[in-house]
Amino acid sequence: MKLNYSNGQLIGTITDHVTKFLSYESKIVDICKQEKSNQPLTYSLTHDAENNKTILNIKTSDGNLLSHPTKYAIGEIIPIDGTVASFFLRHRTARTSPALRFAFMSDINMLLSINDANNTYCMRITNIKPVRPSRITTDDACSLGVYSLSISRRKSYYIPNFDTDSITFYATAHRAMMALAYKMLPKNAVLNNQICLMYEFEIIVK
């Protein structure tokens, strides 16, 4: 799996700040469109052992059961395309950028101490949840890659851009999450607030 370098997904995953990711899956979107109610989806997950698939089951307000396998299965181990070494090779100025060091001092110092040229990072899927971008909670937003800090006793939320050595602050976690969602999902999916899948994972180093 390729994690976004510029938005901090890769380093967030390696430093255990990012433990979830969003996935737009068109077949899942299509079956969810059949549920006309605005109420939260009633869903369950089942495992197809024969095919090693996780099945998302949506129960509609009129009693129908709609099912489709998810892209990744719970328990599946997915190799990550990227290392700390490759991150700093691509973003050489991340070590010295005043903005990034202000926002990511502890993360960058930790990364600088890691020699992972021979490491392979993987993620093991531990849970799956259907969500709409506009309804993602603050806790989930922070697990997806939104950062926060307090300035003059006021909490601000931000996302990085390592390509431009900059960070963008937002007044609320919701605004930061929507900005991040536009970088992670198709634009129309965010504009139309379509169902996407939020995968939770744990990092494995081999």
Helix (H, G, I), strand (E, B) or coil at 144: helix
Please report, rounded to a whole number, the percentage of residues in the chain having pLDDT higher than 70.
95
Residue 32: pLDDT band with limits 50, 70, 90: confident
Residue with tokens 């909670």: 137
Q: What is the mean pLDDT of residues 145-163?
A: 87
Half-sphere CA count of 43, side-chain side, radius 13 A? 24
The reported pLDDT for the residue numbered 26 is 94
Tokens encoding 171: 């007044």
Lookup result for tokens 């999902």: 185
Mean pLDDT of 153-173: 88
Decide if pLDDT at 118 tops 80. Answer: no
Helices within 134-172 (DSSP H only): 138-144
Specify whether the CB–CB gap between 149 and 158 falls below 8 A. Answer: yes
Q: Give residue 189's pLDDT.
A: 94
Q: Where are the alpha helices (DSSP H) in the chain?
A: 9-14, 26-32, 84-90, 98-112, 138-144, 173-184, 187-191
For residue 146, the number of C-alpha atoms closer than 13 Å in the C-beta half-sphere is 26
Identify the CA nearest to 45 among candidates 37, 32, 54, 36. 54
pLDDT at 38: 67
pLDDT digit string, tens, across residues 54-112: 999 988 877 788 899 999 999 999 999 888 888 888 887 877 777 777 666 667 777 77
pLDDT recorded at residue 27: 92
DSSP for residue 72: S
Any idea what DSSP says for residue 76?
A: -
| Of the candidates 69, 79, 26, 29, the residue with the CA atom closest to the CA atom of residue 195 | 29
Per DSSP, the three-state class of 61 is: coil
